[in-house]
Amino acid sequence: MKNTVLRWRQAARSRVRRVAEFGGIRRQPLKQYRNSVRRLYSGPQGAVLKFSSFFSLHEPLMGHLFKSGRFDASRFDRIVDVGSGAGQIIRHLLKTARPDAQIVGFDLSPEMLVRARERLKSDRPELVAADLMHLPFRDNTFDCLTCGYVLEHIPDPLPGLTEFARVLKPGGTALLLVTEDSLSGLLTSRTWKCRTFSRSELHEACQKAGLKWERELWFTPFHELMRLGGILVEVRKRSPE
Give the pLDDT score at 39.
87
- At residue 22, the pLDDT reads 82
CA–CA distances in Å: residue 216 to residues 81, 143, 175, 240: 19, 19, 10, 24
Give the per-residue pLDDT at 128. Answer: 95
Res 6: pLDDT: 46
Cα 121 to Cα 41, 59, 62, 108, 115, distances in angstroms: 20, 17, 20, 21, 10
pLDDT of residue 54: 65
CA 105, CA 89: separation in Å to the nearest integer? 9
How far separated are the first and last CA of the chain, in Å rounded? Answer: 40
pLDDT of residue 241: 64
Q: What is the pLDDT along the chain (241 residues), one digit of tens a residue?
A: 655 544 555 555 666 666 678 888 888 888 888 888 888 888 887 777 766 776 567 788 999 999 999 999 999 999 999 999 889 999 999 999 999 999 999 999 999 999 999 999 999 999 999 999 999 999 999 999 999 999 999 999 999 999 999 999 999 999 999 999 988 888 888 888 899 999 999 999 999 999 999 999 999 999 898 888 899 999 999 987 6
Model pTM? 0.88
Report the topology of domain 20-237.
Rossmann fold (3.40.50)
Dump the DSSP string for 141-183. -EEEEEEES-GGGSSSSHHHHHHHHHHEEEEEEEEEEE-BSSH
What is the maximum span of the chain, computed from C-alpha positions, in angstroms? 58
pLDDT of residue 34: 85
Residues in CB range of 154: below 8 A, 6 or more apart: 30, 132, 133, 160
Q: 215-238: buried (b, 16+ CB within 10 Å) or exposed (e) per residue?
A: eebbbeeebeeeebbbbbbbbbbe
- What pLDDT is stored for residue 80 in this prediction? 98
- pLDDT at position 58: 79
| CA distance linking residue 215 with residue 201, whole number of Å | 16
* Sequence spans of domains, the chain: 20-237
